[in-house]
Amino acid sequence: MSEHSTSSHSTSSPLPRYFAIWATLLICTGLTYYAATLDLGPFNAAVALGIATFKATLVTLFFMHVWHAGEKLIKLVVISALFFLLLLLALSMTDYATRLWS
Amino acid sequence: MAAHPTSRRSPLPDSHTAVANANLQVDERSQAHAPDSLQLRHHFATEEQQRDAASLGMWAFLATEVMFFGGLFCAYLIYRTWYFGDFAAASKSIDAAMGATNTAVLICSSLTVVLAVWAAQTARRTLLIVMLILTMLLGCVFLGVKGKEYKDKFDEHHVPGASFSFENVPVPSHPGQYANPRHAEIFFALYFIMTGIHALHMIVGLGIFTWLLVMAWKGRFTPEYYTPVEMGGLYWHFVDIIWIYLFPLLYLIDRHR
């Protein structure tokens, strides 16, 4: 972490990157709003969630500094949190989605 | 016989505490004279390690928050798949433009937070203070818009409870069909719980940022020690991420019809 973070702090300014990500997030928000007015059939929810996940990933990686985190444990905690969230959602949905048979 | 052991043992605790006190004093002195920083706690080897430990602890807390909101999102997904038409009808009654405005407000506040952390890293005290104040202002704008939304819902009797009313609201994709008020009520219950808990997180965030502002005003943060700014920032970004998901899920169901 030491070489990496100090070099990224002192040599290149992160400001252009921050502003670029901010602009991307705003554009994506407009895009979600616009996509919701189109009839995409079953893909409306997928597009909305896809854009939301893209935005959340940008915030996590660059605003929350996970991309540049030298400590691998932090990346592990982030990934395991997402893994258990997916486990919760996926297993619950497989249960409820298959309940109304018969 | 009985007095003997006690008289022999009585000086022991005293001498122990005296040794402990001496140790404490040595410890305090060595910390006070540490050349690098006054903020390095004695149980960390380096400031690097101290910062990483703080980040790791914060991320562990955020992981519990992911599970906390995850349960609510799970409940939402289940009811949405069961009562999709009713949820779409109820979702249409919320002002999506206000939701989009709030999304933009929170994204801007995330930018000011990241700039505040950068200002603390690069010893720009004035910029840090300005960015903290801007973040709090944007947070207040968010809560104001949210309050207006809640007021509209109260006026329309869309708040779950005794005076709830959602009669003769057409289901978007099925002409001639009307939403079941009981199912729509579940949507509004989830809407108020999820946005309410999110708003509560915003209020806690405003409290944290008030404290950060006081500390920044006193000049407590240096490029070597700005951990509270960074941790407060992580919290704020996390609350932003929750909203990034709440916005399309609650406001944008079946808008096109």
The pLDDT tens digits for B132-177 are: 999 999 999 999 999 999 999 999 999 999 999 998 888 887 888 8
Distance CA B209, CA B116 (A): 11
User: Do B61 and B147 share a structural domain?
Assistant: yes
Q: Please say if the pLDDT value at position B96 is more than 50.
A: yes
Mean pLDDT over residues B37-54, rounded? 81
- Mean pLDDT for chain B overall: 87
Is B43 within a domain?
no
Helix, strand, coil abundance in chain B, percent, nearest 5: 75, 0, 25
| Interchain contact, A48 vs B248, CB within 8 Å | yes
Q: Please say if the pLDDT value at position B29 is more than 50.
A: no
Residue with tokens 């990933």: A57
Q: Which of residues 216-245 of B touch A (CB under 8 A)?
A: 230, 233-234, 237-238, 240-241, 244-245
> H-helix or E-strand containing A96?
helix A72-97
User: Do B230 and B135 share a structural domain?
Assistant: yes
User: Do B153 and B72 share a structural domain?
Assistant: yes
User: Do B233 and B185 share a structural domain?
Assistant: yes
User: Do B28 and B136 share a structural domain?
Assistant: no
Is B130 within a domain?
yes
| Interchain contact, B252 vs A26, CB within 8 Å | no
Q: What is the pLDDT of residue A101?
A: 61
Q: What is the pLDDT of residue B21?
A: 52
Beta bridge partner(s), residue B178: B170
Is B256 within a domain?
no
Is B107 within a domain?
yes
Residue with tokens 């430990």: B53
User: Is the Cβ of A56 closer than 8 Å to some Cβ of chain B?
Assistant: yes
For residues B242 and B182, the answer to whether their CB atoms sit within 8 Å is no
Q: Please say if the pLDDT value at position B62 is more than 50.
A: yes
Total count of domains within chain B: 2
Give me the domain span that covers residue B24: 1-35
Q: Please say if the pLDDT value at position B37 is more than 80.
A: no
What's B169's domain CATH number? 1.20.120.80
For residues B88 and B173, the answer to whether their CB atoms sit within 8 Å is yes
Q: Which residue has the higher pLDDT, A30 or B44?
A: A30
| Interchain contact, A44 vs B63, CB within 8 Å | no
pTM of the full predicted structure? 0.84
Q: Residue A31, Cβ neighbours under 10 Å: how many?
A: 15
Quote the minimal CA–CA distance from A26 to chain B in Å: 6
Contacts of A88 in chain B (CB under 8 A): 67, 70-71, 74
Both tokens of residue B151?
């007021």
User: Do B8 and B74 share a structural domain?
Assistant: no
pLDDT digits (tens, 9 = 90+) for B194-240: 999 999 999 999 999 999 999 999 999 999 899 999 999 999 999 99
User: Do B121 and B4 share a structural domain?
Assistant: no
Contacts of A85 in chain B (CB under 8 A): 66-67, 70
> H-helix or E-strand containing B58?
helix B47-82
Mean pLDDT over residues A17-39, rounded? 94
pLDDT digits (tens, 9 = 90+) for B234-251: 999 999 999 999 999 999
Q: What is the pLDDT of residue B123?
A: 93
User: Do B226 and B111 share a structural domain?
Assistant: yes
User: Do B67 and B31 share a structural domain?
Assistant: no
Which residues lie below 8 Å from residue B195, measured CB to CB, with a gap of 6+? B146, B246, B250
Is B214 within a domain?
yes
Q: What is the pLDDT of residue B1?
A: 44
pLDDT digits (tens, 9 = 90+) for A38-96: 888 888 889 999 999 999 999 999 999 988 877 788 999 999 999 999 999 999 999 88
What sign does the CA torsion over A54, A59, A65, A69 have? negative
Is B4 within a domain?
yes
Mean pLDDT over residues B173-196, rounded? 92
Beta bridge partner(s), residue B170: B178
Model confidence band, residue B70 (pLDDT cutoffs 50, 70, 90): very high
Q: Which residue has the higher pLDDT, B119 or B167?
A: B119
Q: Please say if the pLDDT value at position B6 is more than 50.
A: no
Q: What is the pLDDT of residue A4?
A: 45
Q: Which ipTM value was assigned to this complex?
A: 0.87
Q: What is the pLDDT of residue B7?
A: 45
Instruction: Quote the crossing angle between the two packed helices B96-121 and A15-35, to the nearest 10°.
Output: 170
What sign does the CA torsion over A41, A45, A49, A52 have? positive
Q: Which of B233, B66, B48, B50 is nearest to A79 (CA)?
A: B66
